[in-house]
Amino acid sequence: MKKRLISLLLMLSTLFLTSCAQTAVLPIARDIANIQLMRTMALDRGKDGTVKVTVSGDVRPGGEGGSPQPPIILKQEGATVFGAALHIQTYGEGYVSFGHISQCILSAEAASYPNAVADLLDFVVRDFETRISTDFYVTEEESAAKIVTETASENQSTTQRLESLRRDFGLESNGWPVTVREFLLDMSDNGCGLVPVLKLEKNDDGTTIVSSQMAWFQESRFWETLTPAQSREAAILEEKMESGAVELRLRDGTTVGLRLTGERCEWEPVWQGDRLTGLNIRVHLTADLAEEQGKADFYRSEVMDETEQRFNGVIEGQMRELLHLSQKEGADFLHIRRRLAVQCPSKHRILEENWDEWFPALDIRLTVASEIQRSYDIARVYEEEAQ
């Protein structure tokens, strides 16, 4: 499995090292006016083990001042992704190009059988049009095709919504964007990888796409979905957090809203000779006091101390749950071994040889510290001026 994933990653790097005379693998020049550009690809499982492929383009402009038209959506089913994609060509008004596909959505059902991910992504890696920089998503509750068909309209395409979602990941930091390349690199490292989960949500304007969780893949197939809190803690430990919100209640009943602003993680392995026996993880967070509802006086040090302690306790508890899940399942989806191997190059080989045995029983000691800054309190300024 690992060898196959590595070979997929190397495919593109070797593809263009061939002789100039071997041009059969290169795309054929076509008239741009006769090309339909697809932007999003969805992969589902069909009947009897077949693959359903759904592709979608952008919103089409209306001709001569006309109203915009919904994006073109094409679907086909085949024994392989390639076969279904080739069949799609017979239904397009022009040449259907996959060269601008920037998102690939995979349903959990399609990825639930052994070796599913390597099989389904093989086309994305090998085809000369598709790119391994394509963003990769999984959907658990709906089919991948439904994500595309339910959100396309004359005002917005699925592609536009996913591009917006990619930009907004940092607002809550319950996940982060993952490309096909990044995912396959993680899978080739230890057979585990994290991918953002897409869901459909109804609102006043119709149906939109949201994402607040990460799912992990193991043994080249879909395994389980993390909770939103676990996904946020994974973002912190991976140092991919940009922002986020944590709400707390103090002893006097005051409700506090904190805006996460930064994180720093330190990983200290504990060795006994050539055996890894423990791991100390120290997490330092910074946050701003975004809102408070109650009577607590945040200009008093004891109130700030209580807020920081409660904040540390919430984050530490959720991180412990995440790390325990990873150890219990024997799934190093945070790629701790890779991180330690970079820190201790001389231990790289012994870590790789013994990690599966050591990791489930590893004594992980976690400490979380934080520094909370008060935001500018204009009400307090007015009170001081009045006095």
Q: What is the arithmetic mean of pLDDT over 269-275? A: 94
If one compares 219 and 281, the residue with the highest pLDDT of the two is 281
Q: State the fold for domain 227-387.
A: GMP Synthetase; Chain A, domain 3 (3.30.300)
Instruction: Give me the phi and psi of 347, to 5 degrees please.
Output: -100, 5
Q: What is the arithmetic mean of pLDDT over 371-376? A: 80
If one compares 146 and 63, the residue with the highest pLDDT of the two is 146
Of all helices (H) and strands (E), which one includes residue 183? helix 180-190
Supply the pLDDT for residue 16: 45
Name the pLDDT band for 31 (thresholds 50, 70, 90). Answer: very low
Distance between CA 24 and CA 32 in Å, rounded? 21
Query: What percent of the chain is predicted at pLDDT more than 70?
Result: 86
Give pTM, 2 decimals. Answer: 0.85
Q: How many helices (H) and strands (E) does the chain have?
A: 11, 14
Taking the domains of the chain in order of start, what are their residue ranges? 1-225, 227-387
Distance between CA 330 and CA 333 in Å, rounded? 9
Supply the pLDDT for residue 237: 95
Residue 2 reports pLDDT greater than 80: no
Highest mean pLDDT among 57-61, 63-67, 96-100, 290-294: 290-294
Pairing of strands 35-37, 95-97: parallel
SS3 at position 366: strand
Residue 307 reports pLDDT greater than 50: yes
Lowest mean pLDDT across 19-23, 163-167, 179-183: 19-23
Supply the pLDDT for residue 381: 47
Residue 370 reports pLDDT greater than 50: yes
Supply the pLDDT for residue 23: 46
If one compares 104 and 154, the residue with the highest pLDDT of the two is 104
Residue-wise pLDDT for 320-337, tens only, equals 999 999 999 999 999 999
Supply the pLDDT for residue 64: 62
Supply the pLDDT for residue 319: 97
Supply the pLDDT for residue 21: 44
Supply the pLDDT for residue 77: 94
Is-contact 52 45, C-beta < 8 A? yes
Residue-wise pLDDT for 241-250, tens only, equals 888 889 999 9
Residue 159 reports pLDDT greater than 50: yes
Pairing of strands 363-374, 275-293: parallel
Supply the pLDDT for residue 30: 53
| Chain centre to alpha carbon of residue 11 | 24
The CA R_g of the chain, rounded to the nearest whole Å, is 25
Residue-wise pLDDT for 180-213, tens only, equals 999 999 999 999 999 999 999 988 778 899 999 9
Residue that has been written with the tokens 């209580």 in this structure: 306
Burial (Cβ within 10 Å: 0-12, 13-18, ≥19) of residue 64: exposed
Distance between CA 371 and CA 311 in Å, rounded? 10
DSSP per-residue letters across 135-159: EEEEESSS-HHHHHHHH--SS--HH
Supply the pLDDT for residue 18: 47
Q: Which residues of 370-383 are buried (b: 16+ CB within 10 A; e: fewer)?
A: bebeeeeeeeeeee
Taking residue 363's Cβ as centre, other Cβ atoms within 10 Å add up to: 10
Q: What is the arithmetic mean of pLDDT over 149-174? A: 87
Compute CA distances 35 → 29, 116, 130, 164, 379, whole Å. Answer: 11, 31, 15, 25, 60
Amino acid identity for residue 363 in this structure? D
Supply the pLDDT for residue 99: 82
Distance between CA 218 and CA 232 in Å, rounded? 20
Residue 383 reports pLDDT greater than 80: no
Pairing of strands 245-249, 221-225: unpaired
Is-contact 196 175, C-beta < 8 A? yes
Q: Which tokens in the block code for residue 110?
A: 């399609």
Residue 153 reports pLDDT greater than 60: yes
Residue-wise pLDDT for 69-96, tens only, equals 888 899 999 999 999 988 888 876 677 8
SS3 at position 267: strand
| Mean model confidence pLDDT for the chain | 86
Is-contact 50 79, C-beta < 8 A? yes
- State whether the Cα torsion 316-318-319-324 is positive or negative: positive
